Amino acid sequence: MPHRPDDDAEVLDVYLDANGDPTERVVRDGVEMVIHYADLPDTDITTVRGIPCTTPLRTVIDIAPDVDAADLDRMVQDCLARRLFTVDEARARLAQPDMRTRPGAELLRRALPH
């Protein structure tokens, strides 16, 4: 686990998430957060208010195994309505080799409109 010993975070839990990625639940500066560790292509990373994070599409892929099908459908429809990604962009990303065995990728494939 890539937890840094000089980090002031209190580690509450360490586990593998539903996609098989190492994950920590920590408290840092009084804020509880979940940190997932994975190798990501640059195309899956964006910056929001100066904070690097995953793109909406990658976020949906990553959390898909942790939500029920109805919630996933609502998330996908919301993202499409807000133009956070398109069906074509999602299909193109899901076709890439690193998504072949990712559990969330298969769930998103099923949730996309035809």
Annotated domain spans of the chain: 1-38, 41-114
pTM of this structure: 0.83
Entry field: residues in the chain: 114
Mind listing the pLDDT tens digit of every residue in the chain (114 residues)? 555 544 678 999 999 999 899 999 999 889 999 888 999 999 999 999 998 899 999 999 999 999 999 999 999 999 999 999 999 999 999 999 999 999 999 999 999 998
Distance in angstroms (rounded) separating the CA atoms of residues 36 and 15: 10
Query: How many Cβ atoms are within 10 Å of 63's Cβ, its own excluded?
Result: 19
Given a contact cutoff of 8 angstroms between Cβ atoms, the answer to whether 9 and 27 are in contact is yes
pLDDT of the residue at 105: 96
The pLDDT value recorded for residue 25 is 94
Burial 9-24 (b: 16+ CB within 10 A, else e): beeeeeeebebeeebb
